[in-house]
Amino acid sequence: MGILAIVAVLLPQLLLLLILGGHFDLLGGWNHTESGLQALGALFAAAPVISLVWLVALAVSNGLGRSRGRPRQPLWPALLLLIQAICVDLLVLSQLHL
């Protein structure tokens, strides 16, 4: 569960770094290449999905843990991270020039 949490926390931050690095031209033009677009697309798709998977995994873990007498883990960090990932995706969508 720990690795899933780390990945879920890092993906929206990496997406934000990619957007800010491209905006301030800190990536040396890498963001204008095909691999930069693929990285943006992969992070765009993966960030909310992995955050949702982490939220569901915590909810299932809490349900199973209650029957075994384990303490419950709070769900609010995963929920806040899911909201952040969705907001970052909305920011990316608002920056598209069609």
> In this predicted structure, what is the pLDDT of residue 98?
60
In tens digits, the chain (98 residues) has pLDDT values of 789 999 999 999 999 999 888 888 888 888 788 888 899 999 999 999 999 999 999 999 888 866 677 788 899 999 999 999 999 999 999 988 76
Give domain limits for the chain: 2-94
- Enter the tokens of residue 97: 């020039």
Whole-number Å distance between alpha carbons of 81 and 46: 13
Please give the structure tokens belonging to residue 10.
Answer: 């890092």
